Amino acid sequence: MSPSDRASRSREPGASDADGAYDADRAWKSLDNRGRKVLQLRYSGNTLDAVGKTIGLTRERVRQLQKQAETQFADYLTAITPGLKVRLAVIAGDRCALTDDDLAEIGYATDGTARLVALHTLGLSTVKLDGIVVNGWWTPEPDVLRKQFNELIDQAPFLEEELSARAERLKLPVTVEALLEQVDSRILFIRNLGWVRRSRKSRDAAYLWLTTQGEPRTGAEIAAALGMKELIIRETMRRDPGFAQIRPEGNWALSQWNLPSAAMSYMSATDVVVDILRDRGPISLQELFAEARRLYPVGSWRYSQTLSDSRIGLTSSGLYDLTERGAMAIAESEPPRPGNMAESDNGRIIAVKLTVNYELLRGSGINVNRWLTWSLGLRTAPTARRFELFDPPGEVAIRRNTGTSQISSLRAAVQEMGLVDGCVVILVLRPDGNTASLKHGCMAGLCPAHLL
């Protein structure tokens, strides 16, 4: 007797071809006990070997029984519901994934192995992304789904209201947000804003917020809107060509706005000076600064700092040019020594008193007075000197930039000492041997670490 004949005799009163869940259950009941047992174990994730050990059969025999049971199930289901695949195709359209809600339209809302086998019969498999099985999602084309899903992620950042349209263009369900929330993907959602890349959260959040504003905003406004520190967000935007700073106001805009007042060609005053010298040098200081301020209108003190850059020098005739063309680098004169720095009479030991703060604990460099770099012989920029840290072990770097001097790489040592925000440390440098040590400098009874 054919599956169609058996189905006709077993059809119960009130059953219809559209009742897919009921038909799936009857298709399941058409199997013998051993066939159902094999499918239950296999669709629960057991290997052929594990199933064979459970029911006392060889691996090959289990495979044969699974194949037979699936074929019988598919024949029975197709016979009693001949238009099922057509209805599924209509519901799916050109999408590469379906949800449980979509499948409910054809009746497959029940749970259990019968449902899994029925969906397998229809050519659907569970969705697995980034190694995670996503509950409630099914796909006829796993490779296509992964490709489209990754393409959606690669489009970040984008606003919250843009998600549905982007998903639709990629043939993904408009409910793809539920998929993103289950998978630990490369993007995350920021409430009332949109989707950003995990690796560039601050930058993308600033980008989206400026997009919603449609006009330049101050660094303080951006930081307040995003709940971030202004110093961090300004540094993030300064290093990213996607942002432009408006001169002379200092507000921030998106480069794509192409505002005439946005200084998008240069990232710093030094870049401007070097570019002018490359094109016009040798040139007098007055002409150099006048041309620089025309291209990049910042204060004269910013341009004065650029003269310590190792690429900029003086010719024998007193004009400014590039050192690569023979000009002599300009070494700065000795600045006054600040109160938090000391030097031994023989110059072999230099001590710097520092306060542990948020920037140090997050690994950022600490700005210090230029006397330190001058005394270490770092009199042009950019230059650096490293010291081996013995107590506790590690390394500390001293850098001379055009505008600042910095101490960096102290985070690990401070953490090893158990110090916290507000603690005082003394950095002791021995320039002759390029060695250093770090001492706890808090007054007795007043150490924030001990108070905590």
pLDDT exceeds cutoff 80 at 332: no
What is residue 4's predicted lDDT score, i.e. its pLDDT? 43
What is residue 194's predicted lDDT score, i.e. its pLDDT? 92
What is residue 431's predicted lDDT score, i.e. its pLDDT? 93
What is residue 18's predicted lDDT score, i.e. its pLDDT? 42
What is residue 247's predicted lDDT score, i.e. its pLDDT? 63
Residue the block writes with tokens 């250093």: 436
Q: List domains and CATH numbers for the chain.
A: 3-123 (no CATH), 200-263 (1.10.10.10), 269-329 (1.10.10), 341-451 (2.40.330.10)
pLDDT exceeds cutoff 60 at 6: no
pLDDT exceeds cutoff 90 at 136: no
**Number of other CB atoms surrounding residue 451 within 10 Å:** 10
Confidence band of 260 (pLDDT split at 50, 70, 90): low
pLDDT exceeds cutoff 50 at 37: yes
How do residues 307-320 score in pLDDT, each as one tens digit? 888 899 999 999 99
The per-residue b/e assignment along 16-49, b for 16 or more CB within 10 angstroms, e otherwise, is eeebbbbbbbbbbebbeeebbbbbbbbbeebebe
What is residue 141's predicted lDDT score, i.e. its pLDDT? 86
Cα–Cα distance for residue pair 302/289, rounded to 1 Å: 10
What is residue 108's predicted lDDT score, i.e. its pLDDT? 57
Residue 321: strand pairing partners: 313
Cα–Cα distance for residue pair 202/239, rounded to 1 Å: 12
Confidence band of 8 (pLDDT split at 50, 70, 90): very low
What is residue 436's predicted lDDT score, i.e. its pLDDT? 94
pLDDT exceeds cutoff 70 at 368: yes
Given a contact cutoff of 8 angstroms between Cβ atoms, the answer to whether 62 and 48 are in contact is yes
What is residue 107's predicted lDDT score, i.e. its pLDDT? 64
Cα–Cα distance for residue pair 133/129, rounded to 1 Å: 7
What is residue 1's predicted lDDT score, i.e. its pLDDT? 43
What is residue 34's predicted lDDT score, i.e. its pLDDT? 92
What is residue 355's predicted lDDT score, i.e. its pLDDT? 93
pLDDT exceeds cutoff 60 at 263: no
What is residue 387's predicted lDDT score, i.e. its pLDDT? 94
What is residue 13's predicted lDDT score, i.e. its pLDDT? 34
Instruction: Give the tokens for residue 276.
Output: 């002018």
Confidence band of 101 (pLDDT split at 50, 70, 90): confident
What is residue 12's predicted lDDT score, i.e. its pLDDT? 41
What is residue 110's predicted lDDT score, i.e. its pLDDT? 55
How do residues 187-234 score in pLDDT, each as one tens digit? 889 988 999 998 899 999 999 999 999 989 998 999 999 999 888 888
Instruction: Give the tokens for residue 18.
Output: 């559209």
Given a contact cutoff of 8 angstroms between Cβ atoms, the answer to whether 417 and 411 are in contact is no
Starting at the earlier edge strand, list the strands of the sheet with 158-159.
Answer: 158-159, 194-197, 187-190
pLDDT exceeds cutoff 70 at 39: yes
Instruction: Give the tokens for residue 364.
Output: 């950022």
What is residue 9's predicted lDDT score, i.e. its pLDDT? 39
Kind and range of the H or E run holding 133: strand 132-139
Cα–Cα distance for residue pair 180/198, rounded to 1 Å: 13
Which tops the pLDDT comparison, 305 or 342? 342
What is residue 86's predicted lDDT score, i.e. its pLDDT? 80
Cα–Cα distance for residue pair 10/30, rounded to 1 Å: 10
Which tops the pLDDT comparison, 261 or 15? 261
**Mean pLDDT taken over the chain:** 83
Residue the block writes with tokens 């620089």: 292
pLDDT exceeds cutoff 80 at 67: yes
pLDDT exceeds cutoff 90 at 145: no
Listed ranges 80-84, 171-175, 250-254; the one with the highest mean pLDDT: 250-254
Given a contact cutoff of 8 angstroms between Cβ atoms, the answer to whether 182 and 132 are in contact is yes
Given a contact cutoff of 8 angstroms between Cβ atoms, the answer to whether 270 and 402 are in contact is yes
